[in-house]
Amino acid sequence: MPELRNLATHILTLLNHGLIWVNKAGIIMEFNPQALALLGLPGKDLRGRKLTEVFPASRLSEALTTGKPLIGTRVQGIRGPILVSYLPLLDEEGNALVVFEQCDSSYELAEIYEALLAELPLGLAVVDKEGILIFINKYYASLVGWEEKRATGRPAEHVLPFSKLSQVVSTGRPYLNPEIDFEGHKLCLAEIPLKNKGGEILGGVSRVLPQEAIVEGNFKEFYHQFKIMENKLLLYKDELEFFQENISPWAAIRGVSPQIKELKKLAARVAQGDANILLLGESGTGKDLLARAIHQASRRRKEPFIKINCAAIPENLLEAELFGYEEGAFTGAARGGKPGKFELADGGTVFLDEIGDLPLSMQPKLLRVLQERSFERVGGRKTLNVDVRIIAATNKDLVSLVNEGKFRLDLYYRLAVITIHIPPLRERPVDIEPICRSLIHKFNIKYGLEVQGLSPEVKELFEQYSWPGNIRELENVLEYAFNFLDPEDKLILPRHLPPTFPPSSSSGGLELKKVVALAEQEAIKKALAAAKGNKQEAARLLGIHPSGLYQKLKKYNIE
């Protein structure tokens, strides 16, 4: 196993895909920088952390339970859709690899091809190298009396009784039959293998056309429809490329209110410069999203964006985390030392979240970096120069902290060269609906549902509520609802919401998270009891994916 571990570690640093090596308990042992980039965690050390902490949408438990690879699951990433595959290694230690791949235009284009091929008056079907049907268009499926979704995943001969695709992919030789009789239809059949440049067989294609399309002179009409499809494809391709080249970094900032439009306008202007920015707003208003958007719209967008939560790092570790340390700087220091966040962010942007919680002892050291753009590692003598832009954020009143002697005035002025206020959700209720649309789309992907929106009653409830937790609270309420939706539900109804929503004025919504957690635990226990301990059945009763249930069992420590 040590040799396998060393080989995997070497591979992780070479491949273009993001890769994370985990053990059977889901603990991360190794990773490569590409995985950090796709997960939006540049510069983080993930070793020793649970995969579900850094990637909540993980379906690793499903793959480990079945022992079978789970290939190409699609989730929404920081910079658009990503494909995630889970590969159990079947070794004695039960380790697994998780592979991340950014979806590019070719993936989106494949979906467009698939949609257009469904309209084509020509039967088309594709199998993999095992002869399993992975695509069949609507025309072919209706011809043989199947639905497209039910047909895929089956051996080709089960769906296409006249097909020789398994023979084609095993021998590599095409099969042609211009006169097939099938349930009163006269068909022309052509089946060919699909090979890569090296000659390796990847799968096969079956094409079928009714004889009357040729005999009765209708082939010209077929060719005309084919050219229409081809032109539509080129149009879609051009639109897709234009969209990808001009996609706005502000797309994640949802809202149509005048306040949000003005906020985006101001942020877009200041993104072009290099002045430090201070973001002010209540908890849950999306300060981190705005910081990331400003970075993406700036000239630094191709360089790192590194987030530092000033409240989450213990004071005795904060200096080493920010500025790094040399070997032997303190007991337990890693051999060779370790670079800090500022060093890793050189050329890019450092986002200092919760800056109001920065310890007073650290403030002079941060001030020096802002003034001189230089620092030394802990235990080091060499001065390191960096070129970083600082975006800081807080939900506290820094001026009050300055007056109380808890925040340095000179540091405040260095950080607040430009100040941007993010309005709370209660001041812009018109933004609730577009934010909900975005979140519903996200949760549809995560939970495999097809929810179309909110019922009128829920819309009214949402618009009347003050949302003290802002967008984060709204997201929690919607995710709660998704855990209690049935697969056939298309709208979120009042009965899907937390039982205490909207909270009473005495609680002010501050206990919502606790209420949601208690309700989830109770529902899970009831479902497990009804399913007699069968987790797959319990997940079905709850209307969630089994992987989602496994995550919640771990979260709440339910046996």
Q: What is the pLDDT of residue 502?
A: 80
Does 429 sit behind a cis peptide bond, omega within 30 degrees of 0 on the bond before it? no
Q: How far is Cα 318 from Cα 455, in angstroms, rounded to an integer? A: 47
Q: What is the pLDDT of residue 238?
A: 45
Q: Where are the domains of the chain?
A: 2-103, 108-223, 258-423, 432-556
Secondary structure E strands in 322-422: 349-353, 374-376, 383-385, 389-394, 418-421
Q: How far is Cα 210 from Cα 189, in angstroms, rounded to an integer? A: 9
473 near 433, Cβ under 8 Å?
Answer: no
Residue 558: enclosing H or E segment and its boundaries? none
Closest-CA residue to 454 (of 493, 505, 501): 493
Average pLDDT along the chain, 559 residues, taken 10 residues at a time: 44 62 87 82 83 86 80 70 79 78 54 51 80 84 84 87 89 84 82 77 82 54 47 45 53 88 93 94 92 90 85 83 80 72 87 92 90 86 88 93 93 94 92 92 84 91 90 93 88 90 54 65 84 85 78 79
Q: Which fold has domain 108-223?
A: Beta-Lactamase (3.30.450)
Q: What is the pLDDT of residue 117?
A: 54
228 near 121, Cβ under 8 Å?
Answer: no
Closest-CA residue to 167 (of 141, 191, 144): 191
The residues near 515 (Cβ < 8 Å, ≥ 6 apart) are 498, 499, 500, 503
The residues near 382 (Cβ < 8 Å, ≥ 6 apart) are 376
Residue type, 408: R
On whether the 432-556 domain is CATH 1.10.8.60, my answer is yes
Q: What is the reported pTM?
A: 0.50
Q: How far is Cα 434 from Cα 254, in angstroms, rounded to an integer? A: 6
The residues near 301 (Cβ < 8 Å, ≥ 6 apart) are 249, 295
N-to-C CA span, the chain: 31
Residue with tokens 């707003």: 281
State the alpha helices, DSSP H only, in 101-193.
105-117, 138-143, 148-151, 156-159, 165-171
Q: Which fold has domain 2-103?
A: Beta-Lactamase (3.30.450)
CATH, range 258-423: 3.40.50.300
> CA–CA distance from 484 to each of 71, 424, 468, 554, 559 (Å)?
27, 28, 24, 19, 21
* Domains 108-223 and 432-556 fall in the same CATH topology: no
Q: What is the pLDDT of residue 546?
A: 76
